[in-house]
Structure formats: C-alpha cells, structure tokens
Structure 1
Amino acid sequence: MRALTVDPRQAGSLRVAEVPDPEPAPGELLVDGLALGVCGTDREIARAEYGWSPPGRPWLVLGHESLGRVRQASPGSGFTPGDLVVGVVRRPDPVPCGACARGEFDMCRNGQYTERGIKEIDGYGSQVWCVEPDYAVTLDPRLERVGMLMEPTTVVAKAWDQVRRVGERAWFEPRRVLVTGAGPIGLLAALLGAQRGLDVHVLDRVTDGPKPRLVRDLGATYHSDPIDTVASRLQPDVVIEATGVGSVVFGAIEHTAPYGIVCLTGVSPSGRALPIDAGALNRSLVLENDVIIGSVNANLDHYRQAAEALARADLDWLDRVITRRVPLTRFAEAFAAEPDDVKVVITLDEA
C-alpha cells in the first residue's frame, strides 16, 4: 500500500512510499483510510523541526488528523464494517504516570506518552491502517466529507472543557468570548463558542478570503484591528488564543474582564523578545482573579465531545473550512501554503 512517510531527522524527506499492508493484532480494527488533515505540526515534522520515528527505523508514517472506514472488526469490539471512524492520536505512557493511569493521557506528567504520526508510532497517512477499538471513535455517517476535522475539534473541546472547569471555582456565567486566530483551531473554537450561546468574536489579521465570511456565518463578529484595540473594547470573559503570536497573547491577557480566563492553544516560537510590564500584569491577574492556562492534545472524553459538536454543526459550513483537497499522489501541494488556505486535506482513497 501507499503511505506518506518522512524521516523526522531529515528535512525534505517527505514522500509517498510503498509500505507493507498492515496486519491487525487480535481485536484491532482494520480501516480503509479516507482522508488526512494537514496541520502545522505535520509541516514542522516535514521540516525536521519535530517528531520521532518508531524505534528501530528512520521513517515515520505521517498524519494524525485521521478519517477512515472500518473494513474489518472483531465481534464484541463495538464497531462494524462500514463505520466511519477516527483514530485517537495519543497513547498513555507505559509507567504509567498518575494522569495516564486515569485516562488523562493528554495531561501526561513524565512525557513518555507516544503519538500516532508524531512520536514513535506510525500515523494515519496510509491507504489502510489499524487501530485499537479503545482508541477509535465513531462519527455520524453524514460527516464523511468533513470528519478529518475531528482531531482539531478535540483540541478546542478540551480547551472549552478546561475553561469551564477553571471558571466553576466560583460563580461563572461567561457572556463574551474572543478567539484570536481564524485558522482551523480558531474557527472550530468559535463554532463551539457559538454552540454554547456565547457572544463570539474572532480576531485575525486578514481582511478578505474565506475567513471573515466563515466567522460571520456562525453569527459571530470578525475583527482585524490590533489586539489591544479589539480586546480593550470587548473586555471578553474568555479568550481562546490560537495564534501563538507573543504580542497577541499578551494583548489578550491584558484586556480581559475581571475573572477573565485566557486559554492558550497556540505554540509560540522561541527567540523573540517582547517588552512586558511584568508588575502590571501580575497586579491585574491577582486583583481580578484572572487565569491563564495552557491546553494541548485531548483525551477520549474530548473526542466524544468533539464528535457531538461536529454532528450538531452545519455541514456546509464545515465543508467550507476545508479550502483545498489534494490526492495522496500530489501530497507536496498540501504542504505548500496558498493565500486563502484554512484547512488542507489529503485524500487517501483515490484509485
């Protein structure tokens, strides 16, 4: 079969290769790959900036934003042939740490977790793949064209879950959310905010292309002014930060409403210094009971929450989040950014 492979130690090694067909272990599902979402982590791995291949060989099957259809399932697995499924990305560490032992492998304390398509386990970027039933989630059959959005939706489902948990340390009825960044994570965070009945605002630097309309079609408000201008005017109760841009991060933190919660989902590059009034920041956080939290990855509860959110969403809107689809044979196009890109998808089921 064909698979998208990469040597995480060597930039420019991304290619489509013939690899052995998978043989499911007892109880595993055999799945025909349908599509694969491409994200910033995949591009970092392709540039040899991140990632680990499985022990004993240099190459890794890339891809963690999966979508497939079950070909073979064991009796009692909870799955049947034809089911639309996604595979969970992370696996708990073998020790395990206290969090992993309780199913919270997204909160692994010792860093010995593994991840499909990222860290020491082959990913889902192949025409056929296997997955343990405990790490597969069924999707509504109507989501066949957009189900690869499941994994990024789990990221924001977790972010919203963490915001709720932190907020409920005291009376908590947020009204307004500011999402910074209108890429896939930001748009899906806005979707979940709209589903919660909040007054949703999205900030991004672009003024044309598909992003403004996608935001407005959620019933949300789109902004392209500087973060200080927008956030100081809105005074949001919640900020979901999805850019990783240092000036945006600190601008959002500075201008929340009292008891504001800022959830950081974007990973910032190192090496850039910003002038920060640390004393003023500390004073604001303490006197207003504000909170800043980081959030990454997701556990099985978040996958289930994401599946429910996607099933409730407008399918046409989800389909428009996917701005390009390219076949596996033209994978390089998916890794070359175009001006109006939001989410780029590689199809795996072409003849």
Structure 2
Amino acid sequence: MARNVKVDKGVKRLLSKLALLALPFILWPLIEVFVLPMNFFTFRIWETISVNSMRVMSGPFYPNVHMQMEEEGELAPRTPFAQKRQVEWYTDQYGYRNRDTKNDVLLIGDSNITGAKLSQEETLAEVLERQLGRDVYSFAPATINRFLATDRFLENPPQLVIVSSIERRIPELPPVGDNGLGSRIRNHTGNLINSSPFLTSLAVSADRISKLALYRRTLAEIDRALGKKEYISYNNEFFMEGEHANRDFSDEELDYLADVLQGYHDALQERGIHFVFLPIPNKENIYYQLLPSQKEATFLPRLLSRLSDRGVEFVDVQPAFRELYQQQVQLYPVDDAHWNEVAVKVAAQLLTRHSTVAQLQETPSEKDERLLVNQKED
C-alpha cells in the first residue's frame, strides 16, 4: 500500500514537471494572439493576415481588416538587400483585398492581383476602377473554379471577368471543374462562418494560433545565419526562378494551356459574362538581359498566338513592359518578383483600351448618376 502511494506521488511529480515544461509552449502562442501586435514577427501584411490552416473560411485573408505596415520584399526580407515600403491594406467581409464588394468587373488572379508590396490604392483593382469608372472587385488569390462555385456571384454576377496570372504560374492554371467539390464545400463553410461574428472571431483566433509566428521567424533567421537560404540575384536584382524562368515549352504544353483558357472563356460565356485573359510577364522575361545567358522568353507570344487563333480575348503587356524597361523604367521592385505600381498603371491603361473592357467605361451621364446615388446613400 505504501509502495503504491509512493508510486502515485512519483507519477504526479513527473506529470507536474512535464506540465511546467510544456507550459511555455502552450502559453506562448496565446500570448502571440492575444497580447502582441498581429504583425510583431512578420515582414509583410500578407503573412500577417493570410489564412494558414483554417481553409474553411471564405477568403484567403482575415475579413474586415485595415492595417498599415512598413514591408520588405519577399525575396530578401530582413537582409541588407531589403527595400522597405509603407503599405496599407483593407479586406472585405469575405476576406479579399477590397474596400467593398461591388463587382461590375471581377479580377481573378494571384498575388500580383492581390497587390503584394503595393498599397491599397495602387492595386490593379483600384487603379482600373478609377480609370473605368466602374466597380472592380479583386478576387485573389483565387481560381476560376472558386469563382464558379461561389454563390454570391451567381446572385450578383459581374459583367466582365479578367483572369490574370504571373507567367510562371500559367502552367499551373486548373481546368474548369478541377477541385470543384472542394470549392463548393468551402463556399458553404465560408458562408456559415461569415454569418456569425463569434464564429469568425473563433476561426481567426484558431488560425493565428496555428501560425506559430516566432517559431517560423526563428527558423528563417537560423537558415539565413547558416547560409541555407539561397537567393537568386544577378546584377543587384533579385529573381524568383532565374534562368529556369525563360525555359522553352513544347507545342503540346502550349496547346493544353490554350485549351484550359478556352475552357474559361466557354464557361463564362455560358453565364453571359465576358472574359479577358491578362498574363503578367515574369521579372526574368522583362529583365532578361540581366540573366547570365540573356535568353529571351518565348512562352507568352507563342501562347497568345494560340489564343488569338481560338478567339479567346487577352491583353498583352509584354511589348509595353519591354519598351519601358529599355527606357530604364523600373517595373519590379529590386527585392521582389511582383510588379510595382508603375507596371500596374501600364496594365490598367492597356486594359481600358481593349474593346471588351472599354465598353464598360462610364459615359459622363452615367458617372453623374452614380455620384448622385452615392451622395444619397451617404
């Protein structure tokens, strides 16, 4: 009996010691979420408010956020090469980077459309909205299948959908219907979470806990200190893929991608929605003369030629970007692979000149009517 009591006490002491040992690891994520500023360990707003593990939320970011932060580029953060820039973000009730949810024109795309290292007013959605005089909604990062499975766009469809992709991600564009079930499930779970402020707060808190921001930052710092973090840099410019970006593609690969994009066109046409494709050239494409091989990229011209043969509409920004770069106009940040605010303005101008997009441009009378309605709403 006495022996059992001693064993019980020994087990209790061991469990107490283990609990004390685990306590800092349990408490620290809670301190990160409920005590420290949200961006205490991050170098961009993107990492700060992006959804990490709660993939049942409707959007890629936490909803109803307004945040300002001095950011660094993704290719060389917290290094002597980083270029700091003050940016401002707004996200809407669905967790996308917009001030409101109106959508005459809808932009589907990747982090370039979201506006990495761009302030809110510099994003393509806001620049295009000012030039067109129409409401432009940024649905990014997202895919055409997420759009087709989102019921709010069935109830209030846009007149025009512009699908954009950075050049290096075009081979990964999913065909229509790919992961359609997952997109529909996320639409339903997102609607459920959005319907309750409590559920939204719970989901955001749980997601922030899962990020373990200090742990991730510490690992990144160790990798840099040990030289494990590799950077692709030529002539003091940082690149995402380097020489690999301007590789050659086979005719079969290009035909497949043209089929995928034609599928987007056909799916939207069935809904009575216009479609335009906007490919964004890689930094390596425009700055190819800085690469060791100085190899020019041929991917976009060959793909767009196929789209032209199929009657799929697109806006080609590559010639304008190359011409501007020859005039020493910078179109990408030194420490980042995303386009900068100058490139965004050029793309917006080219979009507004496209016949399908230009049809949406407001007439003076429509603009006056819209202002009158907005004044009444205010």
Which TM class, normalised by the smaller chain length?
under 0.3
More strand, by proportion: 1
- TM-score, normalised to structure 2's length? 0.25
Larger Rg: 2
